Amino acid sequence: MGRRCVFLIGLLGAVWLLASGHGGQQPPETAAQRCFCQVSGYLDDCTCDVETIDRFNNYRLFPRLQKLLESDYFRYYKVNLKRPCPFWNDISQCGRRDCAVKPCQSDEVPDGIKSASYKYSEVANNLIEECEQAERLGAVDESLSEETQKAVLQWTKHDDSSDSFCEADDIQSPDAEYVDLLLNPERYTGYKGPDAWKIWNVIYEENCFKPQTIKRPLNPLASGQGKNEENTFYSWLEGLCVEKRAFYRLISGLHASINVHLSARYLLQETWLEKKWGHNITEFQQRFDGILTEGEGPRRLKNLYFIYLIELRALSKVVPFFERPDFQLFTGNKVQDAENKMLLLEILHEIKSFPLHFDENSFFAGDKKEANKLKEDFRLHFRNISRIMDCVGCFKCRLWGKLQIQGLGTALKILFSEKLIANMPESGPSYEFHLTRQEIVSLFNAFGRISTSVKELENFRNLLQNIH
């Protein structure tokens, strides 16, 4: 518990005792204190504190980031929601209307995005179309230019590289469709129960680095976790190496962020005329209240700040890629594309100015052989989680789960590609490091979700302070 929080509680307690005459009892914590009192001060494995993140995100970054994500380039995301679950067959599809996803009609998507597909510039698009035509013929066409032939080989090599942390959709599949993210917002859908729990249980139990000696559930939301086991649970987590500990905290932070969204955009009232969405304080408390969650809720919120720092650091590292003069946020509207690139660079330079970035140099910094094995394990675990998203029974939840996992995977790819980014040419194709349009859209939208969650915590804190 941070010093500031301890001092505040002590001061309030003293005032309460003097006013009430209760000399031997402590006043009950307020609803806001029970959720947020421990969510203050410095974060584990970081040199940054919660208060600095709140100020930076809520007042300097969040408004501009939301404006960028409303632009055509970032609002249209191509996704295949019909891929079968690779792990089990008994998927119960959510039948609620709010679980459905409305795909775009062909004429609703800007022509520049459709023609560029997952590319990002007009020049690159024209070149890649030649490459894809050659690949469809089954070999490199000798009539293609030497540069184009090289691009075919290099991009194919890149797509098969070991730097990918996600198993991406085949967006050329007939089942892949464009979705307008603004018209299909992430919010509470009613998808819950055994099917929803099964997804998170598999993610935590089989993909986080759980020691064999731990017999109890790793999923902090699973039944059977009580106060008596809390110290044991976190003692093994603190005993892990920083990479494995970070892996768990990333998944927990993503889980917390999703729960914040669901609580902030909850179906409060429905009539035959309209639906009213808003903040459900009770739902938020059930997920994050320190007493109701037996001490787990505030830890989840601190992990939310941890994933914020990880994705923020990745965006600061990839600035040179977006600064290249031939990079465009290509939609076909040259004026808007130029304005949006300027806004994008403003946001990235703001992010780069953040004073307390996460130091990723501690990742995989030990013995080279062991570090390489650990990095591979890290990557494979994360790729497996990306495949689990095809098992989610709610299509809207699947959409946002796939996007956010791909966005986090892209952030990890960036963090582990620092040398490749530094060696990029100032112009022309970048063969060693490049981002597809899918990766770019998911990267910024995923961070936009985390940024929104941090902003929503301020809203919930204010709402809870009014509860006596």
Annotated binding-site residue? 187: yes
Give first-to-last CA distance, the chain, whole Å: 22
Q: Which of the listed ranges 147-161, 176-190, 284-298 does the model predict with the highest average pLDDT?
A: 176-190
Contact at 8 Å (CB) between 256 and 301?
A: yes
Q: Which 3 state secondary structure label does DSSP give 336? A: helix
Region for 203 from its dihedrals, namely left if φ exceeds 0, alpha if ψ lies in -120 to 50, beta otherwise: alpha
Residue tagged 């790819």 (tokens): 413
Higher pLDDT, 21 or 353: 353
Q: Is 287 annotated as a binding residue?
A: yes
**pLDDT beyond 50 at 11:** no
Confirm if 184 and 104 have CB atoms less than 8 A apart: no
Selecting among 35, 99, 104, 397, the annotated active-site residue is 397
Look at residue 24 in the predicted model and tell me its pLDDT: 46
Q: Is 60 annotated as a binding residue?
A: no
3-state SS record for 253-314: HHHHHHHHHHHHCEEEEECCCCEEEECCHHHHHHHHCCCCCCCHHHHHHHHHHHHHHHHHHH
- Mean pLDDT over 321-331 rounds to 91
When mean pLDDT is compared over 61-70, 120-129, 155-164, 457-466, the highest value belongs to 61-70
pLDDT of residue 27: 58
**H-assigned helices in 293-394:** 296-317, 319-323, 334-352, 368-388
Tokens of 435: 């981002």
Domain spans, the chain: 42-115+163-219+236-466
Catalytic residue among 48, 94, 166, 394: 394
Q: Residue 317: what residue type?
A: K
Q: Does the annotation list 252 as a binding residue? A: yes
Element (H, E) at 180: strand 177-180
271 is in an annotated binding site: no
Longest dimension (CA), the chain: 92
Crossing angle of helices 242-264/368-388, nearest 10°? Answer: 20
What is the distance between the alpha carbons of residues 157 and 161, in angstroms, rounded to a whole number?
Answer: 6
Helix (H) or strand (E) holding 76: strand 76-79
Alpha carbons 255 and 301: distance in angstroms, whole number: 10
* Close Cβ partners of 256 (under 8 Å, ≥ 6 residues apart): 288, 300, 301, 303, 304, 453
Q: Looking at the predicted structure, is the pLDDT value of residue 217 above 70?
A: no
pLDDT at residue 104 greater than cutoff 70 = yes
The question of whether 394 is a catalytic residue gets the answer yes
In eight-state DSSP terms, residue 447 is H
- pLDDT of 285 strictly over 90: yes
Question: Would the annotation count 272 as a binding residue?
Answer: no
Q: How far, in Å, are 3, 33, 170, 294, 301 from residue 37 at the CA level?
A: 10, 5, 45, 14, 11
Distances (CA, A) of 376 to 330, 354, 371, 373: 34, 30, 9, 5
Catalytic residue at 46? no
- pLDDT per residue over 355-414, tens digit each? 888 887 767 666 677 777 777 888 888 888 889 999 999 999 999 999 999 999 999 999
pLDDT of residue 308: 96
